[in-house]
Amino acid sequence: MGKEIRNQIGIITGAASGIGSAIALRLSEKGVKLALFDCDKSGLKKIKSLLSTECETYIVDITDEKEVAKWINKVGERFGKIDILINSAGITGETNIKSHEVNSDDLRRVFEVNFMGSYYTSKYVLPWMLKNNYGRILHIASISGKEGNAGMLAYSASKAAVIGMAKVQGKEYAEKGITINTLAPAVIKTAMVDALPNEQVNYMTDKIPMKRCGTLTEVADIATFIVSPECSFTSGFTFDLSGGRATY
């Protein structure tokens, strides 16, 4: 019999909100034991109370490499292994701003969270995965990393960097039973999107052939497949979740 996802150990960053918390709930339903990383203490507490499997929460700023290393190694020691890493923590930074007006400090900050944060977590999780010749890493990127959203230089470029990193990492560990992929969602219906005026949401969904936002259920479904043992012959790839917008 092949590996089962039940009783695997997963780390999810950005798990206190939106996409990260939806994936945490779904993986817990599948029997995955979880370590949830976020800087939002109350959000983490709320999600933990909803989970049915063993779960540890860690208040971590993923831009702090030493903290990331310390807590990932604690998770590895506590559970004896790490099977899954999902990087969902992310920020948009300033938006609706042209490239020549971008504040360089804001650009650096967005790269620190979206790119360096995903790099640090993968850097310290990989030695644990190599011990078992098994692992699944999923970086949540964005369609903006493939297409470039005007007015969102920092966000789009940082997500393109994440996609580039997964292409490299996918090749480097391809013979070690470890897959590293990204997911590129278009706009997903989260509390943040619910709070926007209808006109703004329509502007975004107009670019999507299905003419609607993706749902958190749809994100959780595809993410669960990508990190499952069954998704074993795909690495370095960017999975699409854009309602038909991206066909490449």
Ligand X SMILES: NC(=O)c1ccc[n+]([C@@H]2O[C@H](COP(=O)([O-])OP(=O)(O)OC[C@H]3O[C@@H](n4cnc5c(N)ncnc54)[C@H](O)[C@@H]3O)[C@@H](O)[C@H]2O)c1
End-to-end CA distance of the chain: give it in Å, rounded: 34
In this structure, the dihedral spanned by the alpha carbons of residues 202, 189, 212 and 237, taken in order and rounded to 10 degrees, is 120
Quickly count: other Cβ atoms within 10 Å of residue 25's Cβ: 17
Nearer to ligand X, 134 or 241 (CB): 241
3-state secondary structure of 6: coil
Nearer to ligand X, 32 or 216 (CB): 216
Minimum Å gap between C-beta 171 and ligand X is: 23
Concerning whether 124 is annotated as a catalytic residue, the answer is no
d(CA 119, CA 123): 6
Which sign does the torsion angle of CA 88, 93, 97, 102 carry?
negative
Nearer to ligand X, 61 or 106 (CB): 61
Minimum Å gap between C-beta 175 and ligand X is: 29
Minimum Å gap between C-beta 126 and ligand X is: 19
d(CA 7, CA 31): 6
d(CA 82, CA 10): 6
DSSP string, 178-205: EEEEEEEE--B--HHHHTS-HHHHHHHH
User: What tokens were used for 239?
Assistant: 């999975």
Residues that bind ligand X (CB under 6 A): 13-14, 16-20, 38-40, 43, 60-63, 88-91, 113, 117, 140, 142, 185, 187-188, 190, 192
Nearer to ligand X, 17 or 224 (CB): 17
**Helix (H), strand (E) at residue 38:** strand 33-38
Minimum Å gap between C-beta 223 and ligand X is: 10
Minimum Å gap between C-beta 185 and ligand X is: 4
Which of 134, 155, 173, 203 is catalytic? The answer is 155
Nearer to ligand X, 60 or 163 (CB): 60
Residues designated as active site: 155
